Amino acid sequence: MDILVLDDEKEIADLVEVYLLNENYIVHKFYDSESAVNFINSENVDLAILDIMVKGVDGLQILKMIRDKGFKYPVIMLTAKVMNTDKINGLTLGADDYITKPFNPLELVARVKAQLRRYTKYNDSSNSNIIFIDGLEICSDTHICKLYDKVVNLTPIEFDILLYLANKRGIPVSSEELFLNVWKDKYFDSNNTVMVHIRRIREKLNDDGREHKFIKTVWGVGYKIE
């Protein structure tokens, strides 16, 4: 697989290149937009990682050019900016994913793999029951959960909780709803079973710090995966 990397911060581009090479990808690295655009116009690319704030023609302009030319390969936007308008603009123009600096290189690699799987197997029905969330991969058919391509050892109940929240992505789910749909039993206000299981899942996902990445607590409501 040929991956284009554009970032005018040499250290960032070099770091991304090292991690992608370790996964046996072919990396075409550029520090300036002109060279990257010339390559896009003349060579085959399977995925592009574009820095929005690159000098010259910025990443969003290059993204628009890629889509205007009819290229359908995945594009991941890489930027230090955290403005929601930038994210919305990128997704509107056809970006497939968006990651903000500073970032975990393993998470970036996981997102690259997820996007390439979607791109190369989007007509494969066996891939239709897999949910990808920021390095987390949940397959409802095999009941296998992976984090950055490493299997997470979840119990059946823990898996069902995570899958239910993932299927409701972005929607707060109460403890009562989780209990009724996972345990199939009557819920009591004094029941802390859900809370205990959520804590165990977070520990297994290395998500038990103060700022939870995957399972967020919605105070007074319940839990959600964003």
Query: For 56-69, how does the pLDDT look when each residue is reduced to its tens digit (9 = 90+)?
Result: 899 999 999 998 88
Distance CA 133, CA 146 (A): 10
Distance CA 77, CA 96 (A): 8
Closest C-alpha to 55, from 36, 82, 42 = 36
Mind listing the pLDDT tens digit for each residue in 65-97? 998 888 888 899 988 765 666 666 777 777 888
Distance CA 223, CA 201 (A): 12
At residue 123, does pLDDT exceed 50? no
* E strand residue ranges, the chain: 2-6, 26-30, 47-51, 75-79, 97-100, 130-133, 136-139, 144-147, 150-152, 215-218, 222-225
**Strand 26-30 to 2-6 pairing:** parallel
At residue 37, does pLDDT exceed 70? yes
Residue 214 carries which side chain, given as an amino acid letter? F
pLDDT for the residue 43? 94
pLDDT for the residue 109? 94
Average pLDDT, integer, range 122-131: 59
161-167 long-range CB contacts below 8 Å, 24 or more apart?
A: 161/194, 161/197, 161/198, 161/201, 162/138, 162/201, 162/215, 163/131, 163/138, 165/215, 165/223, 165/224, 165/225, 166/131, 166/133, 166/136, 166/138, 166/225, 167/131
Distance CA 73, CA 94 (A): 10
Mind listing the pLDDT tens digit for each residue in 158-215? 999 999 999 999 999 999 999 889 887 777 655 578 888 899 899 999 887 777 889 9
* CB of 156 closer than 8 Å to CB of 143: yes
pLDDT for the residue 83? 62
* CB of 221 closer than 8 Å to CB of 172: yes
pLDDT for the residue 129? 81
Distance CA 200, CA 210 (A): 15
- Does the pTM exceed 0.85? no
